[in-house]
Structures are given as structure tokens and as C-alpha cells.
Chains A and B, each alone.
Chain A
Amino acid sequence: MNKIFLRFRRKLMIEALCRSFLMGLLIGGGAELAFLIVMHLISRNPGWISIGCVFAVPFLLTFFILFGAVYFPTQRRIARRIDQSGLEERAGTMLEFKDGNSPILEMQRTDAVQRIQSISLKQIPFRISPKVGIACVIVAAMSVGSMFVPYDIMSMLRAEASSLSKAEAAMFRALLEALRNETAESDIADGLKEQLYDGFDILEDDLGKAEGELEKAAQLAAAEARVKDTLEGEISKDQIGPALQAFGAVSDLGKAMEKGDTEGLSAALEKMKSEILARDSQKQAERLTRISSNIESALAASGISESDRLYSALSDLAKAFRSSAEGALSKADVSGELEEAVRKGEGAINALLNEQNEPDALLDRLLELLGDAKRSTLNADFPIWETEAVPGENPEGETAETEQNPSETDDPAETKDPENENTDRENSDNDSEQDPNSSSQTEDGDPEQSGQSSDGPMNTMKEGIFDPTLGNVEYGQVFAAYYAEYLASVNNGQIPEDMRELLEEYFESLNN
């Protein structure tokens, strides 16, 4: 039987090898492709050895299993293939009844052998499915191709899928890089840097998830707020400075402090000292008392904690002035004592100002970067909202009014402190020396009544979004601030669900 089938066996063996090989390639290639897809999804480069193993193991398993169990040309398989070439089951029957001895079985065998011998090898063509071949080529091409695709392609695709245009994505990447670089180069505490970096990471995630210009601008606005929260805690001069400016006697000191101007501060203290020393003892005592009272009142009004070092330095200065005032009252020469107090105060305050100048400068730079990005996102062609058009909410307007009616401003400390009632007149004299541009000062000198502290949404914007002293605000900025508020309210659950769609449509219509 083997002899009869021998010539077919060779051909079918080659066919079996080819089919097993192709199926092995298909399965191995498929496994490798799946592996590479997973690696691309998790953005991980598996290395050539891993790829090779993932291909080789399924390939070899498939090859040997299929060759041994499915395609290997056993006698029965050979007989079946021969029968399929038109022998009408002669070969199969012959094989099955090979041990039979009946005459009809012998006749059957003779007949079958004759017919098998008349069959040429060409009548048994290679049976390799073109579909398998095509599938192999496709899988191989995809596998090889995917090996050369960068493994971070998914991050790029995700960026694309997050509705960011290429230009936007580039802009945001540049923004985040700039923010991180600015922070890294600044000379602030490492803890603060970490907080800022965390905030930038949040911003990156939020920008990736944000859909539409509005949400992106809102996320930038939220980032501005985070940066402010982080850095403003370190900059007490920005609260104390304006508070001091509200009091005529220490207004220059406040201005220099707010600007972080150490020279200005020295000059202001020197001027203060000269003015005091130029007076007689009684007036020296009064002046020193007023200055120390003003400083203490400003510190109280600033809302800064007593543990703040700048607060302490100013508080010490006030105490020193008050001590000198007591000396002056007793007709003693306080010039030395005053000189010493001013020198100490100047040294301490200037050192602290220098410390606070760095985060302040960084805050300005970061806010500038975020503001620019927000404007770009919201399109620079937005109309400019002239804030003068909104009466009562325009700090500049109030400034103008103050300038139009320059009046003597009373020291609030005096108003509140009955002990200082008798010094009103002199205050008026002194107040006339104040800078007429101290716009935040009200008629009665109460900082709570000033435009800076006005309540309501604009207050939030003022602090978070725009500088009221600029006089006008870009519509886009105002819009972003309101939209950020809306998103925050949605997150806090303050807006009923049935209203959200309506509000969303409202913002959409505004943006369009």
C-alpha cells in the first residue's frame, strides 16, 4: 500500500509543510500583531527579543501541531486526496478493506490500483488556500509595519482625539513647558515649586479632556486661580502694601512695599524720619504715635496673619515708633532711638521684600503666560468690553471721580480711635502731602468702602482674571471667568441638572 501511495506522499508532505508553515506564520504573525497593538496602546517598547518570542512560540506550536495532527499525509489522507481526483472512493475502500480476502475485494483492489496508477501527480494539485496566503501577507505586513510605528503614537492619537487641533496642542505644549521652565528657574522654595508642578499637571490633563474653546479657556482660568492660591500666600506685601496706602502717613511706605521697591522703602522711611525729627518734641510724639497707629491699623486691615514675618517686622517698627513717641513726650532726644528703629526696620523689611519679590515676579510671569494662552484660545478678535460702560463696577471710574474731587482724606484710625480725635486738623495737613494718585483711598479713608473690595461676581473676576486698574477688560477674559465659575458650580452641584443644558447653550451662543 505504501508503495502505491509513495509518489503521492512526497507531494502531500511538501504541501503539509507549506500549509503548516503558512498557518504558523498566520498565527504567529497574528499573535505578534496583537502584542504590538497592546504595546502601542500602553506606549511601551517591548524590544526585539520579546517581539521575536511572541512570534516564534505560537508559530512553532502551530506548525508542529498542524503538521503532526492535521496535515501530515497519513495513508488515509493520501487515499482521500486520491479519491478526490475522480477515483470515486476506490482508494479509500481499498485501504479500509486491505485485509479482506473475498474475490470481490480482490477485484476492488485490482481495479483501485489500476486507477491509482493511471493518475498523474498533476491531478492532485497543491491545496494551499489563497485566502490563507493573502491573510499571511496582510498580517506580516501589518506586523512588520507596526514594529516601525513609534510606540508613543497613542499619546499623539489621544491628543488628536481630545479635539485639540495641532496648533492648539503645540501652543499648550509650549505653554506648559514655559510654565515649568519659569518655575524651575525661579528662586522659590522647593515645596512651592512642587505645588506649582502639580497644578501644571492638572492643567495638562484638563486641557486634554476639555472640549471646545470655552472649556479650555475655563481650565486656563482655573489654572490661574491655582497659581495665585499657591503663590499669593507667600506674598504678604501685596496685601499689606495697599493696606498701608490707605493711611496717609504711611502711604509711601505702602507703595514701595507693594512694588517690592527696597530703595523706595528706604527713601520713604528716611523721609518719614526726617519729617519727624524736623518737628518739636510734642509733635514728634504725635507724629510717631500716628504712624505707629496707622501701621497697626493697616496690618489689621490687611487680613495677614500675625505669624507673617513682614507683619512682624512692621509691627516691631510700629512698636519702636510708639516707644520713641513716649520718649519724645518726656522731652528726651529720640533721634538716636529713631535712627536705630528705622535702620532695623528698613533692614528687616527690605530683606523680606527681597524674599517676596521672587514669587511675586514668578506669579506675574505665570499669569502673563496663562493669560496669553487664554486670549489665544478664545480668539483675539473678541470685542473689548469698556469697563467705564458699567457704572459702579469700574474701579477706574472711581479713581477718576476721586481725581475730579480731590478731598482731604481722613485717617481711618483716627476716625475709629477716640484718642486721636484731637489730631484731625493736623491729619488734614498731613494728608495734603499724600500722592493724589492714591486711587484706592476713599473720602473717609475706609478701605472697606473702596472699589477694590466691592462684592459680587466682578470681585471674583477682579481678583482672578483682570486688573481693574487697566481700565478695560477683554470680553474673552470676562467670558472665561464666568464660564469657569459655571463649571465650578456644576461640579459643586449648585446648578440643577435640568438647567445645565440651557446654561451650556447660553454660553455657546455667547461664544459664537
Chain B
Amino acid sequence: MVNEKDVQFFGEKCKEVVAEIGKDVVGQKEVVECAVIAMIAGGNVLLEGVPGVGKTRLVRSMGRAFQLPFSRIQFTPDLMPADVTGTNIIEKDADGKNKLKFQRGPIFSNIILADEINRATPKTQSALLEAMQEHTVTAGGETYRLDEPFFVLATQNPVEQDGTYPLPEAQTDRFMFKLVVGFPTVSELNAIVEMTQATMDEVAKGILTGEDLLKMRATAQEIPVMEEILTYTSKLVSATHPELEASPEVTKKLIRFGASPRAAQALITAAKVRALMEGRYNVSYDDINALAYPVLRHRIKGSFEAITDRITNDQIISRLIDELNGKKTVFAVENPVAKLKKNKK
């Protein structure tokens, strides 16, 4: 049973972890908070950003703060699934007989940094599927359980698309959040430069253990969620499906396919953590709305119209939230063709 101490511990540790990671990662507060939420909620995170914005550093810093074993796998086109999961090797036993022994791959760790995940072939990317969802690895007909807590923090570069393999939907769906790491502001950049002059190493101290993390996860699971909020969440996820009749017009127009039920699960799980982090003992609409962006942005696919009109997934999500709350919004982004015509006139 969760008691007041656990809740207090949760709140304090969360603040400390965020503060500690903040020592290594300048700015990106929202990204850090969401990454911590995902870690506590037990979800995997896909970090997207241009090179050099601190994605890998964030992951390394998190590994230090959570004091968990950390593996980094640099995904390249020639990386094979066995390079990730491990393989059976022939080994002589005490009697001198040959026998197969499973040599564990780098995935057997608590925190996995899958760096530039989209550079590996789909075959290798798929090697992560089982590990990410079931936290197990199957090799040579035998299934090996991964240590808990287990997280995959993958990074990808949205710009250099040559020689990359976009993640399949089944893969992206297994990431709880997709966090977009933006370019730092000038002041943040100053701070980054200044900080890294002394040392390039991460300085975050260990705040939590794996055990603490599991305890915190259990605490968060206890947070009550109103029926209305559950319904709202389900409605929001359903609203991303253009094939449903009840979906709003914006969905039918701008979305090719919508989010899976995993999205609703992820929303509620993450919302519970967020609520506790904010010192609340219940989930609010604000939690759902705030987390809808990292949870849904990689789970919906924009239609051709959305792509040509340069409407981002975040804008679509914003519009969906407004629709559900009875508000009318107009996209700030103007259709470039219409804009061109207007200018000509």
C-alpha cells in the first residue's frame, strides 16, 4: 500500500532528478520532464532533433541520475539483430564438450541508448520490438528476461534522411513519447558553451536506484482517474481515426491513420506520473492535454493535404483538443499555394 511517505518521496526525488539532469542539459526543461515521466511510467522514448542538441547527453545524464547500467548502441546500416540482442556461441564445458552458450548483447542493460535508430535496417530495428514491449529477448528458441527497469531511449535525426530507414508504425507505437529536442536559445547556447569548457563529461549525481524507480512507478499507479477523464482520453485517441464516423472533420481531412490503443494506455499512465510530479493526487484534463503531444505526435500520420499544407502533427493534435473542448481554431500556417496566389494579386 502506498503511504504518504511514498508520495512525499516521489515528489522530492522527481524534483531532484530533474534538477540534476538540468546540470548536464541546459534548457529543454519540458523534454527533460517528459523523459523523466516516461522513465517513471516505464515507457520508451524517441528523441528527435538535429545533431548536437544534446540528445545523447540527456540520455547519459539520465542514466547517471537514475544510477542504472547504461548501454549505447550506435545504429548503422550494417548493424545486425544479433549485435543488439546477443547470440549463441560455441563454448567448451568442463568435460571438454562443445555446447552453445548465449552471449548477451548490449540490450541486456537497464537503459539503452539506441543512437540514430533510423540508420539501421528494419530487420535490426525490429530486434528491439520484443525487448521494448515485453522486456524479453528470444534467441535460439530460448527467452531471456531483461532486467527491470528497462528503457529504450532512441534518437533520430529528422534532417539527414539519405540512407535511413523510417521506423515502421509497429516500432514507433512502442515508444511512449516522441520528444522533439529543439535548438537552444542564445542564452542557453552561451551556458552550454561555458559549461562544456570545463569538462565534456556529465556531472549529474545519482539520485535514484532502479528499486526506487519501481517503487515510484507503483506509487503513480495508485493515482485515481475520474471516469470522465478516461472517457475524454478515449475520445481524444478515437478522434485521431479518420475511418470513424464520429471523428471530427479535421481528422478526416488531415489524418491518414490514427493512434493505437497503446496511446490511450500511455496517456493515462504518464498522466498519473505527471499529476504526482505536480503534487496532485488525481489526474486532470490538463495532464491529458499536455501529454497528448508527446504521446500522439508519432502515432498519427498526416494526410497528403496536411503534408502539402505543411500542417504539423502537433497542430493537428492542438486542433483535436480544441474540437473536443468545443473551441474553434484556425491554423496559423497558411497554405503556401494560397499565399502565393494572394501575393500575386
Residues of A at under 8 Å CB distance from B? 88-90, 92-94, 96-97, 100, 102-105, 107-108, 111-112
Contacts and interface: CB of A to CB of B under 8 A. Distances in A.
A197 B39 CA distance: 98
B282 A103 contact: no
Interface stretch (B2-10, B100-108, B309-317): B2-10
A77 to B, nearest CB: 12
Nearest to B2: A104
A104 to B, nearest CB: 4
B1 interface: yes
A102 B285 contact: no
A88 B286 contact: yes
A118 to B, nearest CB: 15
Given A89-B229, A111-B280, A104 B223 contact: yes
A89 B283 contact: yes
Interface in B229-284: 229, 280-284
Interface of B: 1-4, 7, 219, 222-229, 280-286
Contact of A96 (B7, B223, B224, B280): B224
Given A89-B229, A89-B285, A107-B4, A100 B280 contact: no
Given A92-B226, A96-B224, A107 B281 contact: yes
Contact of A103 (B2, B225, B228, B280): B2
B5 to A, nearest CB: 10
A97 B286 CA distance: 20
Contact of A104 (B226, B281, B284, B285): B281
Contacts of A97: 224
A104 B228 contact: no
B285 A111 contact: no
B284 A89 contact: yes
Q: Chain A CB within 10 Å — which of B229, B282, B284 has the most?
A: B282
Nearest to A96: B226
Given A88-B280, A88-B282, A89-B285, 8 more contacts: A88-B284, A89-B284, A90-B281, A90-B282, A92-B226, A92-B228, A103-B1, A108-B281
B280 A104 contact: no
A93 B2 contact: no
Contacts of B285: 88-89
Given A92-B226, A104-B223, A111 B2 contact: no
A84 to B, nearest CB: 10
A5 B285 CA distance: 22
Contacts of A90: 280-282
Contacts of A108: 224, 281-282
A82 to B, nearest CB: 13
Nearest to A76: B228
Contacts of B227: 96
A103 B4 contact: yes
A91 to B, nearest CB: 10
- The 6 tightest CB contacts between A and B, nearest first, are A108-B281, A93-B282, A88-B284, A104-B222, A89-B284, A97-B224
A102 B280 contact: no
A105 B281 CA distance: 8
Given A89-B283, A107-B7, A107-B281, A102 B226 contact: no
B12 to A, nearest CB: 15
Given A88-B286, A90-B280, A100 B224 contact: yes
Contacts of B4: 103, 107
Contacts of B225: 93
Nearest to B3: A103
A104 B285 CA distance: 19
B6 to A, nearest CB: 9
Given A88-B280, A102-B2, A103-B3, A93 B224 contact: yes
Contacts of B280: 88, 90, 111
Contacts of A102: 1-2, 222
A1 to B, nearest CB: 15
8 contacts: A88-B286, A89-B229, A92-B228, A96-B227, A102-B2, A102-B222, A104-B2, A108-B224
A97 B223 CA distance: 11
Nearest to A92: B226
Contacts of A105: 224, 281
B224 A104 contact: yes
A57 B282 CA distance: 46
A188 B108 CA distance: 123
Nearest to A95: B226
A111 B275 CA distance: 13
Contacts of A112: 281-282
Nearest to A115: B280
A96 B1 CA distance: 20
A89 B282 CA distance: 7
A164 B283 CA distance: 72
A97 B3 CA distance: 17
A363 to B, nearest CB: 74
B243 to A, nearest CB: 31
A407 to B, nearest CB: 92
A28 to B, nearest CB: 27
Contact of B226 (A93, A107, A111): A93
Contacts of A88: 280, 282, 284-286
Contacts of B219: 104
Q: Chain B CB within 10 Å — which of A94, A103, A105 has the most?
A: A103
A348 B2 CA distance: 130
A30 B3 CA distance: 59
A60 B285 CA distance: 37
A104 B229 contact: no
Contacts of A104: 2, 7, 219, 222-224, 281
Contacts of B228: 89, 92
A90 to B, nearest CB: 6
B281 A89 contact: no
Contacts of B286: 88
A136 B286 CA distance: 36
Contacts of B229: 89
Nearest to A110: B281
